[in-house]
Amino acid sequence: MTKVITYGTFDLFHEGHYRLLQRAKALGDYLIVGVTTEKYDMERGKLNVIDPLMTRIENVRKSGFADEIIIEEASGQKVSDVQKYHIDIFTVGSDWVGQFDYMQNYCKVVYIERTKNISSTMLREQNKQIQKIGIIGTGRIANRFVPEVKLVSGISVQGVYNPHTESAKKFSQNWEIDFYEEIEDFFKDVDVVYVASPHETHYDYVKAALKHGKHVLCEKPMVLKKAQSEELFAYAKECGLILFEGIKTAYCPGFEKLLGIACTGTIGRIKYIDACFTKLESPNNRELTDKRYGGSFTELGSYCLLPIIKLFGIDYQDIRFESIHDDNELDIFTKVSLTYQEGIAVATCGLGVKAEGRLLIAGTKGYIVVEAPWWKTTCFEVHYEDPTQVDKYSERFLGTGLRYEIKDFLNMINGNDKSDFKLTRGETVAIAEIVEKFLAYEGRAV
């Protein structure tokens, strides 16, 4: 009996898939089809898959060619599958020519001619209107955003607006996109808006974008006041639009895994969280010269509050701030202490004081530690009373990580709100309230 194996995502099952399976089956007597899991696709940077795993498996089954269906959940699995299932022929479409030649050490490799003019990517793009995103702001984060958008299908960068036309022009030349001198023209041309302007301008831009019927992805901190945050969410809801705060950590796979493990009881009941993020900034940069809205906490506080709010919630009993200031009276280091019924938490952030930048989650049975840059979560460790017992976890974090939030934002626009829980409206409002309290403590009331 000749055993054949092939692999694929088989998203939005189409004629190309059908014909590939048909010819793969014809190569032998018994066909095994490996279907990729969502997690594996995510890990290898395929962020646009629409059908869930069960639907994709069901479609492969319905083709009638597969004698056995397995799931592919890790890179390197193919070699062990071929040996485990005593495979004679490994086959994939001709788009992979050369890439699986190494499998010849284990079995025969056949590349099947790919069916022309059809692919899942094509169908995804036909199915969904491509969202044209317009960027407001031209700073560092906006520059990181553009290449990440390119990695998510269904969205493309249309243009940029900045009241400083020269900056917008330069940015647009750099990224080969349009620039707009008039914001009204900008709103006319775009479907969705990314707000990456200075913090204090977010509120007006978000409101204007919603007024023009645009979904909005806004950089953190979305706004600096609780009432503004509530107002914007209520307005977005009224208009049937998505408003989304871009704290990238909340959407990256490693952070999701970390929260999952922290909540399983592995470390017992969580009692203490210590989240630190420092980044030495040049004293000439906006972050350390803007006396009203600059400083460590407005810049980095959202990151440090995130794990605390995700694990302890938004109902803290007490909150206290302590800051170290520079000659501009801006906080170059801030410590926020929160007291909850079940435990205590400390968030520290600095632009002018360097610390280790670690995230520690301590429980009644053990603790989780994530070294810097924990806000781009990749590896973390779980420790227990017995110092020799350490569980290590890792997850991929691709590029600058903005692709994960862009993908979730786009999914929400397309009616899939499965990622809603990653950063809820209530959590965004709670963070805005803490920022407001901090600015009041600093005597910089907005």
Q: Which residue is nearest to ligand CTP (CB)?
A: 93
Burial of 161 (0-12, 13-18, 19+ CB in 10 A): buried
Q: How far is the CB of 44 from ligand CTP (least distance, A)?
A: 11
Q: How far is the CB of 155 from ligand CTP (least distance, A)?
A: 16
Tell how far CA 122 is from the center of its chain: 24
Q: Based on CB atoms, which residue is closest to ligand CTP, 96 or 233?
A: 96
Q: Return d(Cα 332, Cα 347) in angstroms, integer.
A: 14
Q: Based on CB atoms, which residue is closest to ligand CTP, 151 or 446?
A: 151
Residue 61 corresponds to which tokens in the numbers above? 């089954």
- Contact 10/65 with Cβ under 8 angstroms? no
Q: How far is the CB of 417 from ligand CTP (least distance, A)?
A: 23
Residues in a beta bridge with 349: 277, 334
Q: Return d(Cα 359, Cα 273) in angstroms, integer.
A: 7
Q: Return d(Cα 287, Cα 296) in angstroms, integer.
A: 8
- Residue 329 — φ and ψ, nearest 5°? 65, 25
Distance linking the first and last C-alpha atoms of the chain: 76
DSSP state of 155: E
Q: Return the sign of the alpha-carbon dihedral for residues 147, 149, 153, 156.
A: negative
Q: How far is the CB of 431 from ligand CTP (least distance, A)?
A: 36
Q: How far is the CB of 25 from ligand CTP (least distance, A)?
A: 13
Q: Based on CB atoms, which residue is closest to ligand CTP, 92 or 370?
A: 92
- Tokens 């290590």 identify what position? 392
Q: Return d(Cα 236, Cα 213) in angstroms, integer.
A: 9
Q: Based on CB atoms, which residue is closest to ligand CTP, 93 or 159?
A: 93
Q: Return the sign of the alpha-carbon dihedral for residues 225, 226, 231, 236.
A: positive
Q: How far is the CB of 167 from ligand CTP (least distance, A)?
A: 37
Q: How far is the CB of 99 from ligand CTP (least distance, A)?
A: 11
In 3D space, the residue among 209, 237, 191, 241 whose CA is nearest the CA of residue 137 turns out to be: 209
Q: How far is the CB of 120 from ligand CTP (least distance, A)?
A: 3
Q: Return d(Cα 259, Cα 429) in angstroms, integer.
A: 20
Q: How far is the CB of 17 from ligand CTP (least distance, A)?
A: 5
Binding site for ligand CTP (CB under 6 A): 8-11, 16-17, 20, 92-93, 95, 114-115, 118-121
Q: Based on CB atoms, which residue is closest to ligand CTP, 72 or 287?
A: 72
Q: Based on CB atoms, which residue is closest to ligand CTP, 119 or 278?
A: 119
CA distances to 37, 53, 282 from 85, rounded to whole Å, are 19, 22, 59
Q: How far is the CB of 52 from ligand CTP (least distance, A)?
A: 14
- Tokens 């994939």 identify what position? 92
DSSP state of 371: -
Q: Based on CB atoms, which residue is closest to ligand CTP, 95 or 189?
A: 95
Q: Based on CB atoms, which residue is closest to ligand CTP, 8 or 254?
A: 8
Q: Based on CB atoms, which residue is closest to ligand CTP, 71 or 372?
A: 71
DSSP state of 209: H
Q: Based on CB atoms, which residue is closest to ligand CTP, 95 or 185?
A: 95
Tell how far CA 275 is from the center of its chain: 19
In 3D space, the residue among 244, 283, 267, 204 whose CA is nearest the CA of residue 422 turns out to be: 244
Q: Based on CB atoms, which residue is closest to ligand CTP, 123 or 446?
A: 123
Q: Return d(Cα 313, Cα 305) in angstroms, integer.
A: 10
- Tokens 């940029």 identify what position? 160
Q: How far is the CB of 110 from ligand CTP (least distance, A)?
A: 11
